[in-house]
């Protein structure tokens, strides 16, 4: 009898401790992020990684499907007026914000006005075409534009279309530290550089399709450590797996590798007119072409990219309906490159490549250096840290710049700012009036059929002039524990948790 | 009055030596040093590192910078004794060339620290008063910021490169030499023969060079050797953080920075540079210890 | 003794001022506009202009410094340029983390260093002493970030014994918190323990050779007793002063350790802030670090006087 009692006591003790150790309740998803999130206020957010958190925290007016077509979210339908200057949205009814406030057209107006007028708002230029917002009735809102803007719908699927609870808008500091949105998960806690915790919002209009109860985002910048955490079970999934770890994950029976080619790209931008350093042989089109001819994109993909660095020859992603499939790829041709350089009068050339230091960018730079050397171009490497690279880019303190762009749904987002004469992100100051006309025009046309020919023409011109050599499309490689079910990657790299569950 | 211990062991300063010492003392010191096996081992290690660094171009079987995409991340083998790295380069070759960067970083940084710190310390200790006040305050201020954080801030300001890292480390290590020299200078200044020298009219500069400096030298040499060890680790740390020698130039620290992303697939990329740093630093530490024991027997 | 404290405090003030000017000046010399880094991918010109105005970045440097000093006097250390979170909040979140790491590392260091130093001094000249010395030197020579990487590889990835990164608050789960901190604390504490061992050894040695020890032995006291009661007590004095110095090394070592093990503490905060040109955070954190270092040194000095009966009388 005594033995039985002791055994029972021991059992209870053991069970109690194991119970205490199983801290993570079922249906908690722990996600490893590549970097720490910046501001949690959609108006101030400026990083790609912020959008991953927003995907669960907030709803925008519309969303995209895996095919990049727009689907209803907070808006159930939308129409554009004949002159293209008014965009009318019919809003979903019965939606509540995470603090209980009702969602309606007034809330939409309040948010859009805030994005357009808040002094430090990063969304102002995105909404530059908006003249004013009208509340037609409680569930209909009309956005009146100064000029037709085909890219606006895409903008409203991103941060500029995310709706915060109106009562919280008055306190900007509060929004950043405790955002209240209308998404499937509400904000619980944030410890900078450590974690962001979200909890299921039971009042969400589509709550039934979200099995996960708790989401914990953990920024772990070191990709090796991030993967180590996944393998040891401290994480359930991670984003932006390092290419060098792809094979390890593929071979691990407990993990699953899921990847999709993204909306963005990595490229080498030439300084052709930004300040005194723009006066290099790179001003000659033939030199730029030779540069591109010396590059073997497949080798980069194979050696550094583990097969996920899909070669790119244009700014637009393959998943986009605007992608120009007819544009030929420039394959490596060292002899032709040498001939071009000779014709341009620069048989041997020194070019400096500036880049923000990271493992992958460093490898790509070194590989480029080796490839270009064979064509007679001596590529000098100038690694810097990210902030200094940005500075150099703005001030034209570079000859060639290796950089990237996370990509936007609308083709305008990948082209306009980079290639128009006054473009914000046109670091090389490339200027071609024809390209400007084409890209500005394409912004105002109403549909794919009307816009595609314009983009095709622009892309062809750019491929011919080569102010930017596109290397590969930005991939979104995810590694998941086998326990995670139902996850689909989207080309925008966001983690959408609808239908995602964790097997216990 | 409490004095925080200098990095050299906390004990009273050695009696200042009369500069007219017979060479016998030097021989005695050398004999003491040679008897200390650990010290000799340290000296040998340091010698090996120096030789490796100087003879790297001739000792290396391969090119340290030339990428070879066919032989990426190969395990150690007969062809590549320490394996290859993520761009197919021979690890052994890069280790040998990396010795140059690390050694240079160690020696030059300490050189800077000594060149700035010792004169400042001498001035502060010998002249006292306002000079001492200013110099000590600056040294205290620099010392109150953790060494690595100061080095990081300086290296970030100057931009990532080996030269800038050396400058950053040198400036960060300088206060230790200021403190050390100042302490020694103060105790020498109190000696009778210095007073005598002043009495017969010798100028300040003469006195400092003839009497103070020779007595300050031994602990400085010891501290310098130990600081070289610290500087090598500091350079590796800065490179590890992305603030020192950046790729493709070989440096043990930057090799570790890249290697940490390949730890599971190519552990040899992490193991050998780390061992190299360890061995070099150990060598300098042993040497410094041996020098201290030989130059100042009070420790035993 | 109060005189001593007052003196030290008086000296600390100009030091603090110098430190703040040094850090402030250094940051301004950093190349790279912090606003560009804050403006993120989109680099909107309007936003850049607004932010520059908001943070007074167009004013002359001395003016900016004066504004900052005024804010600090009111307890406002500014807000992070990157996340809009107040710096004081960040420090309050991060300090306990690094403190936990530091305390655990110190425990390792004390637990390894002091007994090893005592034993080494007691058995001076034997193989034990020799071995311990080599061990200590090795501990000082290993780059701690490399040790961290190797340990992560073996202990976490290969053997799955301990978590490889992150932080768990002891309030949430005490034992998991300790488990997570074990490797980083060991890595950090090992190097310090090595140094501590050598200082303990030399302090013990100089004490053991003193006359009163010989007297104690002559009186017939047991060797062990002599060592612990008489020698060690007096050896404590230089050991305590060294601890204060080691505190600074602890903070510096924490920077690398936190980077390798992804611990969201002070060190990582500073490194990230420097790379992001997050001025406000760097200034605030370094100021707090300098202040704590000065306080610790002051405490060590006071302790030194308390422990040393000879000084207490003067």
| Predicted confidence (pLDDT) per residue in A131-149, tens digit | 999 999 999 999 999 999 9
| pLDDT > 90? residue A96 | yes
How far, rounded to the nearest angstrom, does the alpha carbon of residue C214 sit from its chain's CA centroid?
A: 38
CB contact under 8 A, C141 and B229: yes
pLDDT of residue A278: 87
| pLDDT > 90? residue A457 | yes
Q: Does C150 touch chain B (CB under 8 A)?
A: yes
Cα C93 from Cα C104, distance rounded (Å): 18
Cα B255 from Cα B242, distance rounded (Å): 11
Q: How far is A467 from chain B (nearest CA, A)?
A: 27
CA distances from A492 to A43, A53, A405, A425, A499 (A): 19, 13, 12, 20, 18
Query: What is the number of other CB atoms lying within 10 angstroms of the CB of residue A213?
Result: 16
Phi and psi dihedrals of A107, rounded to 5? Answer: -65, -40
Q: Does C272 touch chain A (CB under 8 A)?
A: yes
Structure token pair of residue C307: 């422990």
Query: What is the number of other CB atoms lying within 10 angstroms of the CB of residue A183?
Result: 26
Structure token pair of residue A492: 């925008």
Cα A184 from Cα A169, distance rounded (Å): 20
pLDDT of residue C118: 84
Cα B287 from Cα A399, distance rounded (Å): 47
Whether the CB-CB separation of A220 and A229 falls below 8 Å is answered with yes
| pLDDT > 80? residue C251 | no
pLDDT, tens digit, for every residue of B181-210? 888 888 777 777 777 877 887 777 877 788
Confidence label for C158 from pLDDT (cuts 50, 70 and 90)? confident
Q: What is the mean pLDDT of residues C143-153?
A: 86
**Neighbouring-strand partners of residue C134:** none
Phi and psi dihedrals of C165, rounded to 5? Answer: -165, 175
Structure token pair of residue A67: 């095919």
Confidence label for C252 from pLDDT (cuts 50, 70 and 90)? confident
Give the 3-state secondary structure of residue B218: helix
pLDDT, tens digit, for every residue of B21-42? 556 777 777 777 777 777 888 8
| pLDDT > 60? residue A12 | no
Chains interfacing with B (3 or more CB pairs < 8 Å): A, C
pLDDT, tens digit, for every residue of C187-217? 999 888 888 888 888 778 777 777 667 777 7
CB contact under 8 A, A224 and B247: no
Structure token pair of residue A53: 């958190």
CB contact under 8 A, B262 and A362: no
pLDDT, tens digit, for every residue of A210-225? 999 999 999 988 787 7
Minimum mean pLDDT range among A237-241, A282-286, C76-80, C246-250: C246-250
pLDDT of residue B10: 40
Among candidates B260, B257, C154, C156, which has minimal Cα distance to A244? B260
Match 């010395």 to its residue by tokens. Answer: C133
Answer positive or negative: Cα dihedral of A233, A234, A236, A238.
negative
Minimum mean pLDDT range among A51-60, A180-189, C163-172: C163-172
Q: How far is C146 from chain A (nearest CA, A)?
A: 14
Q: Which residue of B has its CA nearest to C29?
A: B157
Question: Cis before residue A196, ω within 30 degrees of 0?
Answer: no
- Residues on chain C touching A397 (C-beta within 8 angstroms): none
Average pLDDT, chain B: 80
Q: What is the mean pLDDT of residues B271-283?
A: 92
Cα A292 from Cα C216, distance rounded (Å): 85
Q: How many CA atoms lie within 13 A of B99 on its CB side?
A: 25
- CB contact residues (below 8 A), chain C span 64-83, against chain A: 80, 82-83
Best mutation site among C145, C200, C265 for testing chain B: the one with the most B CBs within 10 Å? C145
Q: What is the mean pLDDT of residues B69-77?
A: 80
pLDDT, tens digit, for every residue of A400-447? 999 999 899 999 989 999 999 988 889 999 999 999 999 999 988 888
Cα A192 from Cα C95, distance rounded (Å): 12
**Could you say which DSSP state residue A329 is in?**
P
**Could you say which DSSP state residue A480 is in?**
E
Confidence label for B292 from pLDDT (cuts 50, 70 and 90)? confident
What number of H helices and E strands is found in chain C? 14, 0
Q: Which residue of C has its CA nearest to A42?
A: C83
Average pLDDT, chain A: 89
pLDDT of residue B164: 83
Q: Is C240 exposed, middle or buried (0-12, 13-18, 19+ CB in 10 A)?
A: buried
Q: Which residues of A138-165 are buried (b: 16+ CB within 10 A; e: fewer)?
A: ebbbbbebeebbbbbbbbbbbbbbbbbb
**Neighbouring-strand partners of residue A143:** A87, A133
Best mutation site among C195, C202, C252 for testing chain B: the one with the most B CBs within 10 Å? C252
- Residues on chain B touching C134 (C-beta within 8 angstroms): 38
CB contact under 8 A, A46 and C41: yes
Among candidates A267, A355, A270, which has minimal Cα distance to A312? A267
Strands A140-145 and A377-384: unpaired
Where do the H-state alpha helices sit in C30-86? 34-38, 45-54, 61-73
CB contact under 8 A, B264 and C157: yes
Contacts of A24 (CB under 8 A, 6+ apart): A30
Cα A461 from Cα A283, distance rounded (Å): 16
Among candidates B6, B3, B8, B4, which has minimal Cα distance to B289? B8
**Neighbouring-strand partners of residue A133:** A143
Confidence label for A204 from pLDDT (cuts 50, 70 and 90)? very high
Q: How many CA atoms lie within 13 A of B252 on its CB side?
A: 34
| pLDDT > 70? residue A254 | yes
- Radius of gyration for the alpha carbons in chain C, expressed in angstroms and rounded: 24
Higher per-residue confidence, A94 vs B192? A94
Minimum mean pLDDT range among A311-320, C56-65, C229-238: C229-238
pLDDT of residue A20: 38
Minimum mean pLDDT range among B185-194, B197-206, B243-252, C221-230: C221-230
| pLDDT > 80? residue A461 | yes
Q: Which residue of A has its CA nearest to B255?
A: A359
Structure token pair of residue A6: 């002791």
Q: Please tell me which of A172-186, A458-472, B132-146 the model is most confident about, judged by mean pLDDT.
A: A458-472
| pLDDT > 60? residue C39 | yes
Whether the CB-CB separation of A408 and A491 falls below 8 Å is answered with no
Average pLDDT, chain C: 79
Q: Is B129 exposed, middle or buried (0-12, 13-18, 19+ CB in 10 A)?
A: exposed
Query: What is the number of other CB atoms lying within 10 angstroms of the CB of residue C138?
Result: 15
Q: Does C49 touch chain A (CB under 8 A)?
A: no
Q: Which residue of A has its CA nearest to C160?
A: A232
CB contact under 8 A, A46 and C38: yes
**Neighbouring-strand partners of residue A267:** A403, A470
Whether the CB-CB separation of A178 and A197 falls below 8 Å is answered with no
CB contact under 8 A, B66 and A370: yes
- Residues on chain A touching C90 (C-beta within 8 angstroms): 192
Q: Does A1 touch chain C (CB under 8 A)?
A: no
| pLDDT > 80? residue C40 | no
pLDDT, tens digit, for every residue of B91-130? 888 899 989 888 988 999 999 999 999 999 988 888 888 8
pLDDT of residue C312: 55
Give the 3-state secondary structure of residue A33: strand
Match 């094979």 to its residue by tokens. Answer: A247
- Radius of gyration for the alpha carbons in chain A, expressed in angstroms and rounded: 25
Contacts of B14 (CB under 8 A, 6+ apart): B215, B218, B219, B296, B298
Q: Does C288 touch chain B (CB under 8 A)?
A: no
ipTM: 0.77
pLDDT of residue C36: 74
Chains interfacing with A (3 or more CB pairs < 8 Å): B, C
Give the 3-state secondary structure of residue B265: coil
Cα C78 from Cα C52, distance rounded (Å): 15
Q: Which residues of B188-219 are buried (b: 16+ CB within 10 A; e: fewer)?
A: bbebeebeebeeeeeeeeebbeebbbbbbbbb
**Could you say which DSSP state residue A396 is in?**
T
CA distances from C257 to C117, C186, C189, C252, C267 (A): 25, 10, 10, 9, 8
User: Which of A227, A357, A381 faces B242 most closely, judged by CB atoms?
Assistant: A357
pLDDT of residue B297: 54
pLDDT of residue A25: 57
pLDDT of residue B157: 66
- CB contact residues (below 8 A), chain C span 196-235, against chain A: none
Among candidates B64, B253, B97, B283, which has minimal Cα distance to B165? B253
User: pTM for this structure?
Assistant: 0.79
Q: How many CA atoms lie within 13 A of C307 on its CB side?
A: 18
């Amino acid at each position: 009898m005594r033995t039985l009692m002791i055994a029972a006591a021991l059992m209870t003790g053991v069970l109690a401790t194991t119970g205490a150790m199983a801290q993570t309740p079922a249906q908690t998803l722990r996600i490893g992020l590549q970097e720490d999130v910046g501001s949690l206020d959609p108006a101030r957010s400026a990083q790609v990684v912020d959008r991953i958190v927003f995907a669960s925290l907030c709803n925008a007016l519309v969303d995209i499907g895996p095919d990049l077509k727009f689907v209803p979210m907070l808006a159930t339908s939308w129409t554009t007026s004949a002159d293209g200057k008014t965009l009318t949205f019919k809003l979903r009814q019965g939606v509540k914000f995470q603090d209980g406030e009702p969602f309606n057209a007034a809330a939409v107006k309040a948010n859009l006005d805030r994005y357009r007028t808040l002094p430090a708002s990063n969304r102002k230029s995105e909404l530059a075409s908006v003249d004013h917002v009208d509340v037609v009735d409680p569930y209909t809102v009309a956005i009146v534009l100064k000029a037709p803007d085909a890219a606006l719908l895409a903008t409203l699927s991103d941060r500029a279309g995310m709706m915060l609870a109106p009562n919280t808008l008055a306190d900007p500091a509060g929004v950043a530290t405790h955002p209240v949105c209308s998404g499937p998960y509400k904000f619980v806690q944030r410890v900078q550089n450590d974690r962001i915790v979200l909890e299921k919002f039971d009042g969400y209009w589509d709550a039934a399709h979200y099995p996960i109860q708790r989401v914990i985002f953990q920024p772990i910048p070191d990709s090796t450590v991030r993967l180590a955490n996944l393998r040891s079970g401290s994480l359930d999934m991670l984003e932006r797996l390092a290419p060098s770890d792809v094979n390890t994950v593929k071979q691990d029976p407990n993990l699953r590798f899921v990847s999709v080619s993204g909306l963005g790209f990595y490229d080498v931008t030439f300084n052709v007119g930004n300040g005194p350093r723009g006066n290099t042989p790179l001003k000659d089109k033939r030199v730029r072409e030779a540069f591109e001819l010396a590059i073997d994109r497949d080798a980069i993909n194979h050696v550094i990219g583990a097969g996920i660095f899909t070669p790119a020859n244009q700014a637009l992603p393959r998943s986009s309906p605007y992608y120009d499939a007819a544009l030929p790829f420039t394959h490596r041709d060292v002899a032709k490159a040498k001939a071009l350089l000779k014709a341009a009068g620069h048989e041997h050339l020194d070019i400096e490549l500036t880049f923000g230091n990271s493992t992958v960018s460093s490898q790509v730079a070194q590989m480029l250096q080796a490839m270009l050397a064979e064509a007679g171009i001596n590529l000098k490497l100038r690694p810097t840290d990210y902030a200094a690279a940005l500075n150099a880019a703005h001030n034209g303190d570079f000859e060639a710049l290796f950089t990237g762009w996370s990509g936007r749904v609308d083709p305008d987002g990948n082209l306009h700012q980079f290639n128009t004469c006054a473009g914000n992100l046109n670091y090389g100051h490339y200027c071609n009036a024809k390209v400007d006309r084409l890209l500005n025009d394409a912004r105002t046309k109403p549909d794919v059929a009307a816009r595609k020919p314009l983009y095709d023409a622009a892309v062809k011109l750019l491929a011919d002039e080569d102010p930017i050599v596109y290397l590969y499309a930005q991939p979104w490689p995810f590694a998941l524990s086998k326990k995670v079910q139902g996850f689909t990657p989207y080309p925008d790299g966001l983690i959408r948790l609808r239908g995602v569950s964790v097997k216990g | 009055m409490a004095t925080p211990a200098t990095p050299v062991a906390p004990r009273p300063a050695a009696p200042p030596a009369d500069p007219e010492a017979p060479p016998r003392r030097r021989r005695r010191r050398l004999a003491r040093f040679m008897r200390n096996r650990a010290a000799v081992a340290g000296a040998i290690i340091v010698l090996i590192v120096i030789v490796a660094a100087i003879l790297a171009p001739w000792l290396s079987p391969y090119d340290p910078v030339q990428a070879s995409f066919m032989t990426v991340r190969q395990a150690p083998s007969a062809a590549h004794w320490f394996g290859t790295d993520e761009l197919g380069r021979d690890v052994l070759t890069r280790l040998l060339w990396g010795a140059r960067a690390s050694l240079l970083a160690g020696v030059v940084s300490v050189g800077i620290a000594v060149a700035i710190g010792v004169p400042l310390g001498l001035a502060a200790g010998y002249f006292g008063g306002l000079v001492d006040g200013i110099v000590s305050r600056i040294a205290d201020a620099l010392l109150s910021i953790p060494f690595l954080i100061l080095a990081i801030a300086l290296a970030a300001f100057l931009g990532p490169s080996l030269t800038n890292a050396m400058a950053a480390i040198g400036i960060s290590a300088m206060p230790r030499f200021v403190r050390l020299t100042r302490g020694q200078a103060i105790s020498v200044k109190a000696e009778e023969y210095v007073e005598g020298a002043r009495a017969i009219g010798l100028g300040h500069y003469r006195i400092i060079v003839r009497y103070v400096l020779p007595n300050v030298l031994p602990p400085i040499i010891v501290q310098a050797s130990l600081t070289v060890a610290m500087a090598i680790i500091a350079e590796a740390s800065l490179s590890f953080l992305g603030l020192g020698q950046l790729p493709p130039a070989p440096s043990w620290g930057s090799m570790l920075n890249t290697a940490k992303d390949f730890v599971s697939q190519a552990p040899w990329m992490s193991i050998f540079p780390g061992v190299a740093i360890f061995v070099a630093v150990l060598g300098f530490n042993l040497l410094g210890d041996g020098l201290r024991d030989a130059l100042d027997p009070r420790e035993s | 003794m109060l005189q001593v404290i007052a003196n030290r405090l008086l000296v600390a003030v100009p030091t603090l001022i110098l430190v703040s000017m040094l850090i402030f000046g250094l940051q301004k010399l950093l190349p790279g506009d912090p606003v560009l880094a804050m403006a993120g991918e989109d680099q909107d010109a309007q936003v850049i202009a607004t932010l520059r105005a908001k943070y007074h970045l167009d004013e002359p440097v001395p003016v900016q410094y004066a504004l900052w000093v005024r804010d600090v006097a009111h307890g406002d250390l500014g807000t992070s340029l990157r996340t809009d979170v107040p710096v004081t909040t960040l420090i309050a979140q991060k300090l306990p983390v690094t403190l936990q790491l530091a305390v655990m590392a110190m425990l390792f260091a004390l637990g390894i260093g002091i007994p090893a130093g005592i034993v080494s001094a007691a058995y001076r000249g034997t193989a034990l002493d020799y071995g311990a010395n080599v061990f200590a030197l090795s501990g000082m020579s290993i780059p701690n970030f490399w040790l961290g990487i190797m340990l992560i590889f073996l202990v976490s990835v290969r053997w799955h014994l301990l978590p490889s990164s992150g932080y768990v608050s002891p309030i949430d789960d005490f034992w998991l918190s300790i488990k997570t901190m074990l490797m980083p604390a060991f890595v950090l504490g090992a190097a310090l323990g090595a140094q501590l061992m050598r200082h303990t050894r030399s302090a013990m040695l100089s004490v053991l050779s003193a006359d009163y020890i010989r007297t104690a032995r002559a009186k017939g006291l047991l060797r062990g007793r002599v060592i612990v009661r008489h020698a060690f007590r007096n050896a404590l004095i230089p050991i305590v002063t060294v601890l204060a110095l080691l505190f600074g090394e602890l903070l510096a070592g924490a920077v690398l350790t936190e980077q390798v093990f992804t611990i969201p503490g002070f060190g990582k905060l500073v490194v990230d802030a420097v790379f992001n040109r997050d001025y406000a955070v760097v200034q605030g954190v370094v100021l707090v670090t300098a202040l704590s270092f000065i306080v610790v040194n002051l405490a060590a000095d006071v302790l030194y006087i308390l422990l040393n009966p000879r000084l207490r009388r003067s």
